């Protein structure tokens, strides 16, 4: 019967995860976590899709608060709750760290909140840590521009690896120390990462460290269906993607590199085209599929760029490398950086291997 269902639907994300678990490629806990991510992604897709309708209903067409009156919660706050709670109810997470919250928090769930008839005790067995940005680029939603969710999953380190440097552990309770130590892991320790793009279609792209797979939400059945069994970024592209409004503030190597490729004076002798949405998930998704280079480099005002290492830089770099691409800060590999703070920023340059290598030469020569 299982096969019959799949003949009608294609390979669903749920089937994909079950089959990986059956083959021992992921454990049951990770399978549960992806169950929850899948469900949360569907809810967020719906929220993003209907946001203008809800806004119009609340404000009325003249922009005045209507009779229902209460303040509307911001979409990034709502989506944070959706994603966080979906993860917590798996009982498999020791720690959750969101771009929307100041500190990483304990991921366990107390009893069975809100479900009647399920009042017996439940012991959390969480050993995973999830870092996420529930709605990246949320300022774009009002204009109908694509936005996304980005996430990464770590395993909880052993107590011995949980020692925090004294300056970081100061003033924190034991539990806060555990959560922080678990969260401050370099990208190369990720066991899974992915993103969801809410756009013309809803796309979910993930990696368990064995290549990159893409799914598309089939809204008629409410399931993510595999549409790209193995995503490989082209080794070379023709597109660059960066906020060139800041070019005057960038580091010299970055500025020179972009000037070179857009003038057609780079290794391929072809002028590159500019594509920039200003919504990382959309810009990365295009880069992954069409090739080229995406950058949010350091500039005079922001020595570490804008994007966050844990919620944006590391998961996206893991996906990029798994698809055969590269991800650097300029001189070094993004996945090698050990974070010292949960909201730490990092310059990122990622995309097709040959393009990133060409860019890196400008940094190497500047030394």
Residues lying near Mg ion in the complex (CB under 5 A) are found at 133, 136
**Closer CB to Mg ion, residue 29 or residue 133?**
133
**Quick one: what does residue 306 bind among Mg ion, ligand AHM, none, with the CB cut-off 5 to 8 Å set by partner type?**
ligand AHM
Supply 162's token pair: 């949980």
Nearest CB to Mg ion, comparing residues 138 and 207: 138
**126 vs 137, which CB is nearer to ligand AHM?**
137
Q: Are 192 and 208 in contact (CB under 8 A)?
A: yes
How far apart are CB 255 and Mg ion at their closest, in Å? Answer: 25
Q: Residue 125 or 139: which CB sits closer to ligand AHM? A: 139
Q: How far is it, in rounded angstroms, from Cα 121 to Cα 173?
A: 25
In the complex, least distance from residue 17 CB atom to ligand AHM, rounded to whole angstroms:
27
Contact track, ligand AHM, 135-174, x by CB under 6 A: -xxx------------------------------------
Output the smallest distance, CB 41 to ligand AHM, in A: 17
Return the range that interacts with ligand AHM (CB under 6 A); candidates 31-39, 198-206, 258-266, 273-281.
Answer: 273-281
Rounded least distance, CB 296 to ligand AHM, Å: 6
Partner in contact with 138, chosen from Mg ion, ligand AHM, none, beta carbon below 5 to 8 Å by kind: ligand AHM
Residue with tokens 């650097």, as numbered in its chain: 328
The number of residues that bind ligand AHM (CB under 6 A) is: 10
Binds ligand AHM by CB under 6 A, chosen from 35, 279, 287, 322: 279
Residue 92's binding partner, choosing from ligand AHM, Mg ion, none, with beta-carbon cut-off 5 to 8 A by kind? none
Which among 133-141, 173-181, 193-201, 258-266 is the span making contact with ligand AHM, rule CB under 6 A?
133-141
CB of 77 to ligand AHM, least distance (A): 13
Residues 287-326 that bind ligand AHM (CB under 6 A): 296, 306
Write the secondary structure of the chain as one string of H (helix), E (strand) and C (coil). CHHHHHHHHCCEHHHHHHHHHHCCCCCHHHHHHHHHHHHHHHHHHHHHHHHHHHHHHHHCCCCCCCCCCCCCCCHHHHHHHHHHHHHHCCCCEEEEEECCCCCCEECCCCCCCCCCCCCCCCCCCCCEEEEEEEEECHHHHHHCCCEEEEEEEEECCCHHHHCCCHHHHCCCCHHHHHHHHHHCCCHHHCCEEEEEEECCCEEEEEECCCCEEEEEEECCCCEEEEEECCCCCCCCCCEEECCHHHHHHECHHHHHHHHHHHCCCCCCCCCCEECCCCCHHHHHHHHHHHCCEEEECCECCCCCCCCEHHHHHHHHHHHHHHCCCEEECCCCEHHHCCCCCCCCECCEEEECHHHHHHHHHHHHHCC
Using CB under 6 A as the binding rule, the residues of this chain from 233 to 252 that contact ligand AHM are 243
Taking contact as CB under 6 A, which single stretch among the options 42-50, 166-174, 277-285, 343-351 is the one that binds ligand AHM? 277-285
Q: Which is nearer to ligand AHM, 29 or 251 (CB)?
A: 251
Residues that bind ligand AHM (CB under 6 A): 133, 136-138, 243, 278-280, 296, 306
């Amino acid at each position: 019967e299982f096969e019959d269902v799949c003949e009608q639907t294609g390979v669903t994300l749920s089937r994909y995860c079950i089959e990986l678990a059956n083959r021992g490629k992921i454990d049951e806990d990770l399978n549960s976590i992806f169950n929850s991510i899948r469900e949360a992604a569907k809810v967020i897709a719906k929220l993003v899709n209907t946001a203008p309708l809800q806004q119009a209903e609340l404000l009325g067409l003249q922009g005045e608060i209507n009779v229902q009156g209460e303040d509307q919660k911001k979409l990034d706050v709502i989506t944070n709750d959706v994603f966080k709670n979906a993860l917590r109810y798996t009982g498999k997470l020791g720690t959750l760290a969101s771009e929307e919250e100041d500190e990483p928090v304990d991921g366990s769930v107390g009893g069975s909140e809100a479900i009647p008839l399920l009042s017996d005790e439940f012991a959390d067995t969480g050993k995973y840590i999830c870092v996420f940005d529930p709605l990246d680029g949320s300022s774009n939603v009002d204009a109908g521009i694509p936005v996304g969710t980005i996430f990464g999953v770590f395993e909880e380190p052993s107590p011995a690896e949980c020692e925090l440097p004294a300056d970081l552990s100061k003033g924190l309770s034991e539990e806060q120390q555990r959560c922080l130590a678990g969260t401050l892991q370099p990208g190369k320790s990720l066991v899974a990462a992915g993103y969801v793009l809410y756009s013309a279609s809803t796309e979910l792209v993930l990696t368990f460290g064995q290549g990159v797979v893409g799914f598309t939400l089939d809204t008629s059945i409410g399931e993510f269906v595999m549409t790209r069994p193995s995503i490989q970024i082209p080794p070379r592209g023709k597109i660059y993607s960066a906020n060139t409004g800041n070019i005057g503030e960038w580091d010299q190597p970055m500025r020179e590199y972009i000037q070179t490729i857009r003038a057609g004076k780079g290794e391929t002798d072809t002028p590159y085209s500019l594509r920039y949405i200003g919504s990382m998930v959309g810009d990365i998704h295009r880069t992954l599929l069409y090739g080229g280079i995406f950058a949010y480099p350091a500039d005079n005002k922001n020595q570490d760029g804008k994007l966050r290492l844990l919620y944006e830089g590391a998961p996206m770099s893991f996906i990029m490398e798994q698809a055969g691409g590269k991800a650097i800060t300029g001189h070094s590999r993004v996945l090698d950086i050990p974070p010292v703070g949960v909201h730490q920023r990092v310059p990122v340059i990622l995309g097709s291997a040959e393009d990133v290598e060409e860019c890196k030469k400008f940094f190497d020569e500047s030394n």
